[in-house]
Amino acid sequence: MTEARSDRPDGHSRRAARHEHPAIDEAALVVARCADHMLESAREVGADRWVAYFEPMPDRLRDDEPIALRATATRCRAAYGVKDSVRDVLPAVVTEPFLDALDRLIRELNRELNRSRG
């Protein structure tokens, strides 16, 4: 995920693109679909705070490069706080699949980070 490559003519390194990591890309797309359901559910119950929180997440999960994807995943995971949790407002039928998919994405990001470190 964070591996730098020096195959550019100017000698500068570049980070691997998201499509170069199909497991991460697929996991992120699954989380994005779950985030769509979370957002829809938040709108249905009138949870404006969670609508505002999750509104940018599906697009970020679909478009972010791996380095930014980790920050987005961390922000999504923060919705499951001890004192303030999305679980308190939205039904488990949407919160639990989202959490499961999110944890799979984070594991894939961690695997790639470990691979790139050697």
The residues spanned by each domain of the chain are 18-117
pLDDT on residue 88: 96
Cβ atoms within 10 Å of 19's Cβ, excluding its own: 9
Amino acid at 74: T
Identify the pLDDT of residue 67.
87
Residues of the chain with pLDDT under 50: 1-8, 11-13
pLDDT of residue 9: 55
Closest C-alpha among 78, 70, 76, 71 to residue 37: 76
Interatomic CA distance for residues 87 and 89, integer angstroms: 5
pTM of the model: 0.84
Q: Return d(Cα 67, Cα 17) in angstroms, integer.
A: 10
Give the DSSP per-residue string, 71-92: HHHHHHHTTB-SSSBGGGTS-H
Q: Which amino acid would we find at residue 112?
A: E
CA torsion through residues 109, 110, 115, 118, sign = positive
Q: What is the per-residue pLDDT for 118?
A: 67
Q: Work out the angle between the directed axes of helices 22-45 and 66-77 (0-180°, nearest 10).
A: 40
Q: How many CB atoms lie within 10 A of CB 35?
A: 26
